[in-house]
Amino acid sequence: MAADLIARLLELKGQAPSIPFPGDERELDALRVKYLGKSGIIPLLSREMAGLPKEQKPEAGKLLQEVRAAVETIINNATHKLKVEKIQKDIDGEFFDITLPGAEPSFGARHPLTAVMDEIAGIFTGMGFQIEEGPEVESDYYNFEALNFPPDHPARDMQDTFHLPDVKRLLRTHTSPVQPRAMERYGPPLSVLAPGKVYRCDSDVTHSPVFHQVEGFTIDRKVTMGDLKGTLQTFIHRLYGPKTNVRLRPSFFPFVEPGAELDVSCIICGGKGCRVCKNTGWLEVLGAGMIHPNVLKSGNIDPDTWSGFAFGMGIERLAMLKYGVDDIRLFYENDMRFLRQF
């Protein structure tokens, strides 16, 4: 029995070089099943080896390994050869026109809101303003209280606030909280520009729940309304051209006194009257005023020595006017046909 097994292994080893090389997938599978399958020759012999006397096991084991290696070499070579043949066949069957133009990758561009924001920042840093940022998740204190909105004051309803479950925290409704933050941090004199995202429960063609504002303010000795008007006029002329007229209209914000809104002559019709300016010839672009003494006090600044002006504007509104865009939502849809125009 033992001698018989060794003889059979020797015979198999002798036959290995003449195993026919598989010509296709079917033959390859048949070979694999015949030698290596569960009931194939090699596993069967391997099981038989268990009954061999101990001293013959090494010789039988070595022979079995040699047969297995020979069969596996054939299977591996055939697998590789069939794979290469298949690739070659696919290539031969395919027509590839190398004279066709390649597919061009699409290039990105600056988003129009980023472009307007950068332009605004460039104009104000040119006038000596430093850029500051504040948190978007803000405390009730900086968003309202430090800005002279007393608790339960109806002016809080002017801005529809997203309150967070933690009652004292909210998504900032404007960039004005950067005013008391920067005052506390740097002290006067100070000129700051604070761009960033703000949030309000508000949504239609000219209002978005998330939008961008830029806050600006200057604090120094003897700052006046004249400084405010001159600064904003210079800014508007640089952004929309020197022919744009500006006017200040009285308005109310709890954190400024007096408060004003700035209108520009309609960019679309040049002031003659059109649909965009509702035939008034004017467009409101920002809120502004002289910083309220209570706000200076919140920022640890003495209102008897120092005074300041502040302004805040919506970037989307300025961008809509600059580029003649009539629906604010276009800025957020990321439609490449829209974005490519800028």
Instruction: Give residues in contact with ligand FA5 (CB under 6 A).
Output: 159, 174, 176, 200, 202, 207-208, 211, 213, 215, 253, 256, 286-289, 310-314, 316-317, 328
Least gap, CB of 140 to ligand FA5 (angstroms): 15
Q: What phi and psi values does residue 222 have, to the nearest 5 degrees? A: 60, 40
Between 78 and 161, name the residue whose CB sits nearer to ligand FA5: 161
Between 31 and 313, name the residue whose CB sits nearer to ligand FA5: 313
Least gap, CB of 196 to ligand FA5 (angstroms): 12
Cβ atoms of 292 and 256 within 8 Å: the answer is: yes
Look up residue 111 and give its DSSP letter.
Answer: -
Between 19 and 123, name the residue whose CB sits nearer to ligand FA5: 123
Secondary structure of residue 258 in the 3-state scheme: strand
Between 45 and 146, name the residue whose CB sits nearer to ligand FA5: 146
Total Cβ atoms within 10 A of residue 302: 10
Q: What phi and psi values does residue 211 have, to the nearest 5 degrees? A: -145, 180
Query: ∠161-307-130 over CA atoms, to 5°?
Result: 70
Structure tokens at 98: 């190398």
Between 6 and 225, name the residue whose CB sits nearer to ligand FA5: 225
Q: Which of 222, 146, 133, 149 minimizes the C-alpha distance to 182?
A: 133
Total Cβ atoms within 10 A of residue 309: 24
Least gap, CB of 184 to ligand FA5 (angstroms): 17
Least gap, CB of 148 to ligand FA5 (angstroms): 11
Between 9 and 248, name the residue whose CB sits nearer to ligand FA5: 248
Total Cβ atoms within 10 A of residue 67: 22
Least gap, CB of 106 to ligand FA5 (angstroms): 29
Least gap, CB of 103 to ligand FA5 (angstroms): 38
The single residue listed with the structure tokens 């120092």 is 306
